[in-house]
Amino acid sequence: MHRLSLVINSHETSEDVWEAFFGELIKYEWTKAFASVYLFSSRPPIKPIPFYYQSGVELIVYNKELPYSLQYLSCIKKVPEEYVVIVNEDCIPFGPILFNEVNRILDLMVSAQLDVDFVKCVRGTESVIATSFDNVYYINQESDMIFTQQVSIWKTRSLLNVYAHSPVSFIARKGGIQQEQVATQVCRELGIKGALYYQGERKRGMYHYDSEIFPHICTAIVGGKWNVAEYSSEVLELSKTYNIDLASRGFYEG
């Protein structure tokens, strides 16, 4: 079977989220689905985070002075597995992975029965076309947003190709051109094709739905603040479990 890894994009300013992310990762046994777990960040944690070390994560350090797109490119080049699941550190797990479905999707990709470069696992605003496979839809190449940084299964080579051809770009509302915008155009130009896994999950907020295949908060941090607008009960529970001072970041209330 082709090896699948988990790659987590982060930054040292999000260290306060790492304990909750890795704690829930272990709690729901996500690590069992992956040959390796990688964290892309600007440095290792300063304070001791037991769950971080228990997860067996491998840190890949980037130069924080570089723009986001070049940070990510420098890291993804170091991931040897042929397939990756991409997440951000604030996509905090809140349930077990559907291992059988992940394996089914991976088998379809490896065999080229599903002729795509990635399978997005969180429904958003994309336009889709039915396939012959249960819960799987092709993403229309004319969709406003083809590429997203939400939880997805990618061919590593294709993901690297997208970043290698992307102009300098940014994320997290930090100004400048956003990576999702430029990468969507790059996908069109390179013929990078995607699919969506969706099994009728409920809508959460204005732009996305829950994910049964990878149950997680999407996303816990918005504009640098805790997302209580869409995940109030989940965020409150995390704060109790991991003794998080929510007030230190403040609250995103929509």
- Domains annotated for the chain, with CATH where assigned, are 4-252 (3.90.550.10)
Q: What is the pLDDT of residue 172?
A: 62
DSSP letter (8 states) at residue 93: B
Q: Please state, in angstroms and rounded to a whole number, the distance separating the CA atoms of residues 190 and 163.
A: 11
Give 135-194 as a DSSP string.
TEEEEPTTSS-S--SSSEEEEHHHHHHHHHTPPS-B-TT-SS-BHHHHHHHHHHHHT--E
Question: Which among 38, 124, 24 is positioned nearest to 84, based on CA atoms?
Answer: 38
Residue range 123-180, pLDDT digits in tens:
999 999 999 999 999 999 999 889 999 999 999 999 999 999 998 887 765 666 788 8
| pTM of the predicted protein model | 0.95
Q: Please state, in angstroms and rounded to a whole number, the distance separating the CA atoms of residues 14 and 228.
A: 17
Q: Give the pLDDT band (50/70/90) at residue 92.
A: very high
Q: What is the mean pLDDT of residues 211-240?
A: 96
Secondary structure element (H or E) that encloses residue 20, with its range:
helix 15-27
Q: What is the pLDDT of residue 1?
A: 43
- Percent of the chain scoring above 90 in pLDDT: 88
Query: Which token pair is 232?
Result: 């109030």
